[in-house]
């Protein structure tokens, strides 16, 4: 039966993948992935050999159409982002939307999530926590959004590229030197 599996992948330690995720990867016909180089390491660690299809932010629409064709042929397709849960501040949302609109079954295979993992060790009080994801890279828009977040009276979670983390910390120090930060 044609099914798209959205599979959460380890955040860094390959042993953090779930048993269900490994078993699902063994059973699918094709693995669509954000970065084939990263996904092949995961698949090799579990002796899984499957055809790979690149599906990242720059080609997601074209790749999603290809996945929809594969599903129409009766194939089972898995989608992996580089780390964590696909479509949460990662590619995958267009792929899921196209598959669902075409009437195909989409099944999440839960597992690691950077958001939940971070919160589990942050020591925050219970209550509202805002998840922002990535701020983006356009300086003016990014700075305006950061100011809006800082004006809220609640904790918030941001994702940031390792290449821009120092810049973000500098901006936060400038805009809100009194705020507490937890970095994970």
Instruction: Report pLDDT digits (tens) over 54-90.
Output: 988 788 889 999 999 999 999 999 999 888 888 776 7
DSSP for 34-50 reads S-HHHHHHHHHHTT---
The tokens for 52 are 């790979």
Counting beta carbons within 10 angstroms of the beta carbon of residue 91, is it exposed (0 to 12), middle (13 to 18) or buried (19 or more)? Answer: buried
For 84, which DSSP code?
Answer: B
- In angstroms, the CA 99 to CA 39 distance is 21
pLDDT band at 15 (very low <50, low <70, confident <90, very high): very high
Tell me what pLDDT residue 183 has.
Answer: 86
Alpha-carbon torsion (174, 177, 181, 183), positive or negative = positive
Domains of the chain by start residue, with CATH: 3-109 (3.40.1010.10), 124-175 (no CATH)
Q: What is the pLDDT of residues 131-178, one digit of tens each?
A: 888 888 888 898 999 999 999 888 898 888 888 899 999 999 999 999
Q: Which is higher by pLDDT, 90 or 3?
A: 3
Degrees, nearest 5: CA angle 162-164-165: 65
Q: Quote the percentage of the chain above a pLDDT of 70.
A: 99
According to the model, what pLDDT value does residue 17 have?
95
What pLDDT shows up at residue 145?
93
Degrees, nearest 5: CA angle 99-31-18: 100
């Amino acid at each position: 039966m044609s099914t798209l599996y959205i599979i959460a992948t380890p955040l860094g330690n390959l042993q953090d993948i779930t048993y269900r995720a490994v078993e699902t990867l063994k059973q699918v016909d094709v693995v669509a992935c954000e970065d084939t180089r990263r996904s092949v390491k995961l698949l090799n660690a579990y002796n899984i050999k499957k055809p790979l299809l690149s599906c990242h932010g720059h080609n997601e629409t074209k790749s999603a159409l290809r996945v929809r064709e594969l599903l129409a042929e009766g194939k089972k397709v898995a989608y992996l982002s580089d780390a964590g849960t696909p479509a949460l501040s990662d590619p995958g949302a267009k792929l899921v939307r196209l598959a669902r609109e075409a009437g195909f079954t989409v099944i999440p295979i839960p597992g690691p999530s950077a958001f939940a993992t971070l919160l589990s060790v942050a020591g925050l009080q219970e209550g509202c926590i805002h998840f922002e994801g990535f701020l983006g890279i356009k300086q003016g828009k990014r700075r305006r959004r950061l100011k809006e977040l800082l004006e809220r009276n609640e904790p918030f979670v941001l994702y940031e590229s390792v290449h821009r983390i120092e810049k973000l910390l500098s901006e936060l120090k400038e805009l809100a030197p009194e705020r507490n930060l937890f970095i994970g």
